[in-house]
Amino acid sequence: MPELHDTPQPLKASGPEVLLEGWTSFAQGWLLLDMVVVLTLALVLGAVIAYHPATRRRLSTLEHFEQPKTLLMYAVVAAVVALIVEVQPAMAFVIFGIGGLLRFRTMVGEAKDTGRVILVTVVGLCCGLKIFIVAVPATVIGWLLIFALEQQIAGIIRVSGVGEQQMHDATRAYRAMIAAAGCKIIGEQTKFIKREFTFVVKAPPSLDREGLQAQFDSLPPEVRGVVDWERL
């Protein structure tokens, strides 16, 4: 049985070669294409589930609107994790521990924000392991995904304080102004007892919130209420 000190050790890169370690993989065009295809396919298949017609038909709350963003982000995260584990199987336990720590011990906001934090973390892990062939495509695809998903924002416009007799007229007036501002109403609820009605709206990033509020304030006093904005 050979002694421990007789076991051959892999040679480490030294000098300028250290800086090139991990980048030489980009010279393999087919390998780079494989990374892009894997990440893109994960995104496409995730979108098939995220935008299932059965779930889109019941789109009526902010949670329903934001859910596909979360699913797509996690699809990309899972693909990156699989690529890391394929290269370094031992990293599976490390990634599992990091994911649990971020999800349950770190205040990062909503689920989709957690997905972005984990994506950034695994990309950083790729860089630490010098798996740049995974880190760079994942960053590009993640950036494009976030850009595309954030082209539309959602929020709630809640109006209260309108007289019970004017509720229908007030609802119609606010609905018309919201639609004229380029927003799409994806959910609506009226509470006559509280003299309150709520619109769940999908809006473009260019929405002029101050301008829309000014239009609300210009309504006749009998149909004008107190407007409360949430996440828009």
Over the stretch 158-202, which tens digit does the pLDDT of each residue have? 999 898 888 999 999 999 999 999 998 888 888 888 889 999 998
- Phi, psi (degrees; rounded to nearest 5) at 203: -130, 155
**Domain 153-230 classification at class level:** alpha beta
CA distance 216 to 208: 13
Q: What pLDDT is recorded for position 41?
A: 96
Q: What pLDDT is recorded for position 45?
A: 94
For the record, the structure tokens of 73 come out as: 């982000």
Burial of 33-53, coded b for 16+ CB within 10 Å and e otherwise, reads eebeebbeebbeebeeebeee
Segments making up each domain of the chain, as ranges: 13-149, 153-230
The pTM is what? 0.73
Specify the higher pLDDT residue, 80 or 8: 80
Specify the higher pLDDT residue, 22 or 129: 129
- pLDDT more than 90, % of the chain: 36
Q: What pLDDT is recorded for position 89?
A: 85
Residue 2 confidence (pLDDT) above 50: no
CA distance 186 to 175: 11
Evaluated on CA atoms 59, 60, 65, 66, the torsion sign reads negative
Q: What pLDDT is recorded for position 170?
A: 93
Q: What pLDDT is recorded for position 4?
A: 43
